[in-house]
Amino acid sequence: MNSGNLKIIAKKEMSGLVSEKTIILAIILQVFIAMFSSFLLVGLASMYNPDAISSYSHFRYPIGYVGNDTPLLDHLKNDRDFVVYEVSLSDGVALLKERKLAAVVWAPDTSEYADIPIKVTTYTIENDIQSSIVNARLKNTFLEYEDRLRDIRSYRIENTPVPLNLPEADASADFYEFVYGLLIPLLVLMPAIISGAMIIDLITEEYQKDTLETLMSAPITFPEVIWGKILCCFLIVPVQVTGWLILLIANGIQVEGVIPIILHVSVASLIIIMLGALTALRYRERTNAQFVFSTALVVVIIAALAFPMNPGNLIVLLSVGSIGPEHWIILALMILVAILLGFLMTKYAEQIRDMAIK
């Protein structure tokens, strides 16, 4: 295989990427994700940890209180997060539906010294971000009231409870979970997936524009044409990954194992690109090839996630510097997979060339 021919094809395709909508839109999407990562942090954190978003709000929420004058009412009135209005249950629910109240708390007439539990009912708007914040704030008030009840009813405890000294929660944990657990893997792996989709466009357009026979008649082999396109799609991956890592470091986010991350993503991208090339050679029509490739890629990703050392976990562990030299073994196995796919793709391209000649 002539390396000069590969460079010619790669250079030709690289010059055409400026007008390629796929890569331009993909880069814009990545920039969008990076620019609005703070907003994504709030939104994603609200899905798995509503307490995380409560610290972003400093608004005093109007809530309705239904019931007699109890110590719980005093706790709510002393909470700086709420403005408490004593209402009836029907009026409170009606105001809640009109969004004039953020929540309604109904406290029963059960005495604090009674033997039965005190069941407090909270009414909020379902599937609402504000309700998540209000619930997180109310939880703190309810816990204070619960501590009061535990002290009052402590005479009923027959056994001495075991004290638990739990460490205080770190408010910055959600930020680091988002950055290292989601943002970095998403930014560095997205170029690989985009390049896999782009190789399909580059190959199928040769079939759709009927330029394949012209390429085959030139002093260059069909496998060299395919490998030149693969080289073009492959080269932009480490460039993008390096750029994202530099920007993250420049913004004060410490990233360990920069070189191993680039190597792992590059090899993974080569595997994905060759899978896309094989799909494009098999189906030759852009829509069908993209559909099959996307479906197969989802299956491959789900299968890879079943293993502890999947690419996503590797990127996370490498970025925080908490992995040993075993990642080099995984990299070697990925290289072997890439070599096998490269061999199969070359043979398949040669087969297509021979069939076209006949």
Phi, psi of 104 (to 5 degrees): -130, 130
Give, as one character, the DSSP assignment of residue 83. E
C-alpha distances in Å from residue 282, one per residue of 204, 207, 231: 10, 12, 20
Hey, which bits of 107-256 come out as E strands?
A: 121-123
* CA–CA separation, 84 and 66 (whole Å): 10
Residues 314, 322: Cα–Cα separation, whole Å:
10
Question: Contact, 138 vs 105, CB < 8 A?
Answer: yes
- Contact at 8 Å (CB) between 133 and 54? yes
Q: Which residue has the higher pLDDT, 184 or 266?
A: 266
Question: Residues 66-70: contacts with CB within 8 Å, 24+ apart?
Answer: 66/92, 66/104, 66/105, 66/106, 66/107, 67/106, 67/107, 67/108, 67/109, 68/107, 68/109, 70/107, 70/112
Asked whether residue 332 carries a pLDDT value surpassing 80, the answer given is: yes
Global pTM? 0.64
Write the pLDDT tens digit of every residue in 45-103.
555 455 555 555 567 889 999 988 888 888 888 888 889 999 998 999 899 988 899 89
The residue type found at 291 is: F
Whether 273 contacts 298, CB under 8 Å: no
Place of tokens 């988002």: 178
Decide if 66 contacts 107 (C-beta within 8 A): yes
**Starting from the edge strand earliest in sequence, which strands make up the sheet with 103-106, in order?**
82-86, 61-66, 103-106, 121-123
pLDDT class for 183, splitting at 50, 70, 90?
confident
Report pLDDT digits (tens) over 14-46.
666 656 555 666 667 666 665 555 555 555 555
From CA 174, how far away is CA 42, in angstroms rounded?
9
pLDDT one-digit tens code per residue, 254-265: 888 899 999 999
> Quick one: DSSP state of residue 181?
I
H-run or E-run covering 86: strand 82-86
User: From the CB of residue 259, how many other CB atoms can be counted at a distance below 10 Å?
Assistant: 10
Q: Which residue has the tokens 């460039």?
A: 239
